[in-house]
Structure 1
């Protein structure tokens, strides 16, 4: 299983790597996944840092991962499936093609989670959400950015 439904840990078996809420950046940098697939980093200048990785194959899907760190702790994960038929630039892009990516992402999540979505919405944007006690896993088509993507969001700790 790619995602542990009990705690939201993302397991990358081919790299012997587990990604989890508040994982330290130094811990990530020790993993085979980081050493073999790291691509680049973006400092958002707000305390958030995005780390981008080259595609990995999971369950027959090409999957790209982007990890968002707040300071030095893993905050959230964005993912996307990819196929050769996807638009490579604006000349090839159509909303219909992008919706196919959205549907493929939903199919991927249903497969790796072993369950149907908890909630589906068509407005304001097509969304597919799987809700867990620790957070949620979601897929969205966002017409504003003309893109489809999915992610793992962890619940914030409640302070007393």
Structure 2
């Protein structure tokens, strides 16, 4: 299982690594996943930092991760499948090819989550969402960025009123 549907934790078994909401960056940096797959970081200059990782093999797919941290805590996870036939340059890119990535991402999520999507929509752009009590797993094709991506967004934590 890659994504635990009970709590949204991502298990990267080959790296003995668990990614979870509010995970500390210092904890991530101690993992085999970080040590072997870390590629790059982007400081957005707003308190957010994106960490990029080289692809790993999951369920017979090549899967890359982009982790978004607010200060030093994990806020969201983006992922993408990749195949050799995917466009590598703008000259090779077409919307049709990118939609194939979107469909492949949807199929990948349905397979690993073992359920059909909760919601599919074509407007304002093609998207597929799986709703859980802790948040959403989603896939989208965004024509503005000419890209397809999937990810995990966690619900805001609610502090009980005392």
TM-score by length of 2: 0.97
After superposing on structure 2, the runs of 4+ consecutive aligned residues of structure 1 that deviate more than 3 Å are none
Q: 1:49 aligns to what?
A: 49
Alignment partner of 1:29 is 2:29: yes
Alignment partner of 1:122 is 2:122: yes
Shift of 1:17: 0.3
Q: 1:38 aligns to what?
A: 38
Shift of 1:158: 2.4
Gap runs ≥5 in structure 1 = none
Residues in 1 aligned to 2:113 and 2:74: alpha-carbon distance in whole angstroms: 21
CA RMSD of aligned residues (A): 0.6
Which residues of 2 match residues 65-144 of structure 1 at below 5 A? 65-144=65-144
Gap runs ≥5 in structure 2 = none
Residues in 1 aligned to 2:35 and 2:125: alpha-carbon distance in whole angstroms: 36
Residues in 2 aligned to 1:31 and 1:108: alpha-carbon distance in whole angstroms: 25
Report the secondary structure of 1:36's partner residue. helix
Q: Could you list the per-position Cα deviations for residues 114-143 of structure 1 after superposition, in whole angstroms to 9, with x for gaps in the alignment?
A: 110000001110000000000000000000
Report the secondary structure of 2:22's partner residue. coil
TM-score by length of 1: 0.99
Residues in 1 aligned to 2:157 and 2:2: alpha-carbon distance in whole angstroms: 24
Q: Could you list the per-position Cα deviations for residues 64-107 of structure 1 after superposition, in whole angstroms to 9, with x for gaps in the alignment?
A: 00000001000000000000100001100000000000000000
Residue-pair matches, total: 160
